[in-house]
Amino acid sequence: MPHRSGPLAKGVRLIDQGKMMQGDRKIEILDTTLRDGAQTTGVAFSLQDKIEIATRLDRVGISFIEGGWPGSNPKDLEFFRRIKDYSFKNSKIAAFGATKKKGSAEDPSLRSIVDSDVRYAVLFGKSWLLHVEGVLRITADDNLTIISESIEYLRKHGMEVIYDAEHFFDGYMDNRDYAISTIRTAKEAGARTIVLADTNGGTLPQHTLKVVRDIKENVGGNLGIHAHNDSGVAVANSLLAASEGFNHIQGTVNGLGERCGNADIIQIIPSLELKMGVSAIWGNERSPSSLKELKALSSYVYDLLNITPDPYQPYVGRYAFSHKGGVHVDAMIKDSRAYEHVDPELIGNTRNYVVSELAGRAAVLKYAQELGLDVDKEDRLITDTLTQVKELEKGGLSVESADATVKLILLKNRGVYRDSFNMLYWMASARNVNSTVESEGEVIVRVDNEVLYEREKGVGPVHALDNALRKGVLRKFPLLKDVQLLNYKVGVFDGDRGTASSVRVLIEFGDGKDRWATAAVSDNILEASARALSDGYNYKLGVEALSSSHRR
């Protein structure tokens, strides 16, 4: 089969050779999750959260970690004290703060940066006359003096300064000459890096291109960008600046940040590494697996904040390499380059084939192969299973996220599966007693010729039902002790019937090694839940039994 040339073909072949696509040019990534990301509405990091995220950023190979603003709150001040107890192999810790106030000889904000006892400072100052004259209420010349004196003060105390030119793009549009004078002042005062900040996030790529080219030509030096995502182009603007020779990019994990967030380093880093041939994660401990840590880093931050991960997030999202259309799946099985821009394994993700009414036999065949069934695309098993899937979806049961439901159909059609247990009876109830809601669940389960009865309470009727079912089956199947419910979703089908509408229930399970999901539809939400629960536990037992027979 002939191979195409170009970065995609090259990127796919590289993983086959066990190599990383890494060029000679390096770009510094400064992660500001712990400071700018903490300004996300609804997000609050504990001190230990900040420390744990910092250690993981170091593991990936991020150049700089902005630990916080020590002059703004006690937690950030304590972070810089505590972080000294940890050894960092790749990342350098930086303290954030603002330029001094006019006329202050010993500014408390600058003093707190020095007292953080780190080598690097990220200092922000004003570039836009709107803020200089309208917010700070000082003159344009006063602002230049403040920038110069603040940087000089930090440098006299042995610190290297990364200067963030706040609102630079807006300031440039308002008064180009003055905006440039602010960063020239910072450069002359000895700042190691000049960072152009799109603080309001309103700059579109065509204007970003004009500005970065102008600054590269007329100011030069070590330049960076700090992009916000209010126009949805923070990642694009960051990559564009990199393509024009900027060698410092700031952003956050998963694009956290105020309003619409910051540039997402989880998207920026693989684009730089895999598509632009630039080293964006590097240090003393750089290894071929570093890029693969991005998926785990993204998931960890979502979990830590109890935020549902974006399944469509580029590179690391659960559906980022998910293929549903029949034509797509068929082509992907023949050559993964057909509908993927990079190999998902490069960033620690996995490829997924979705079975639905839109899918062809190729997707069902992929599931059959995962189960170890010896079939080809023309096998009657594949055709019959696909027909059943389409009939189920016609009746309202969406199975595109319910891989275990489809695999159960395959196993039953092949005749190599039977339920390990059957629910003969179940009951779930909720009642209000003295303004307190109490829920109970009862089950009668048959395992071979033995009948088991259990009754349990829960925070709701479905939880109580699950508790009773788990208690019953665990008596016979201790294998299930590690299985947990990871997600429970209810969707309405034929919603024109109001509260009498049919509902779809999707339940995701996991045991620390594998994840699977089952779905059921019914006019009764408890019935749909009971069936999805039963199928989920039965699937785990059935697949384990099938795997054991193959090993024998």
Report DSSP letters for 281-293, one per residue: S-STT--TTTTTH
Q: What is the pLDDT of residue 358?
A: 53
Instruction: Give the span between the Cα atoms of 396 and 408, in whole angstroms.
Output: 18
Q: What is the pLDDT of residue 443?
A: 97
Instruction: Give the span between the Cα atoms of 238 and 82, in whole angstroms.
Output: 32
Distances (CA, A) of 84 to 43, 46, 282, 434: 25, 17, 21, 53
In whole numbers, what is the pLDDT of the chain averaged over residues? 88
pLDDT tens, position by position, 422-453? 999 999 999 998 888 999 999 999 999 999 99
Sheet strand arrangement including 515-522: 484-493, 502-510, 515-522
Residue 186 has pLDDT above 70, yes or no: yes
Q: How confident is the model at residue 219 (pLDDT cuts 50, 70, 90)?
A: very high
Sheet strand arrangement including 450-458: 422-433, 436-447, 450-458
Residue 332 has pLDDT above 90, yes or no: no
Residue 403 has pLDDT above 70, yes or no: yes
Among 46-55, 259-268, 336-345, 377-386, the range scoring the smallest mean pLDDT is 377-386
Could you tell me how far CA 534 lies from the centroid of its own chain?
31
Residue 1 CB coordination number (10 Å): 4
Instruction: Determine if residue 6 is left, alpha or beta; phi over 0 gives left, psi from -120 to 50 gives alpha, anything else beta.
Output: left
Residue 9 has pLDDT above 50, yes or no: no
pLDDT tens, position by position, 288-320? 568 889 998 998 998 888 888 898 999 999 889
Instruction: Give the span between the Cα atoms of 214 and 241, in whole angstroms.
Output: 11
Q: What is the pLDDT of residue 492?
A: 75
Instruction: Give the span between the Cα atoms of 55 and 337, in whole angstroms.
Output: 35
Q: How confident is the model at residue 253 (pLDDT cuts 50, 70, 90)?
A: very high
- Domains of the chain, CATH where assigned: 23-286 (3.20.20.70), 322-411 (no CATH), 421-476 (3.30.160)
Residue 24 in tokens:
């000679």
242 neighbors 27 (Cβ within 8 angstroms): yes
Closest to 371 in 3D by CA, of 399, 403, 341, 342: 403
Residue 23: what residue type? G
Instruction: Determine if residue 448 is left, alpha or beta; phi over 0 gives left, psi from -120 to 50 gives alpha, anything else beta.
Output: left
pLDDT tens, position by position, 445-485? 999 999 999 999 999 999 999 999 999 999 999 999 999 99
Q: How confident is the model at residue 11 (pLDDT cuts 50, 70, 90)?
A: very low
Q: What is the pLDDT of residue 251?
A: 98
- Specify burial of residue 290 (Cβ count, 10 A radius: 0-12, 13-18, 19+): buried
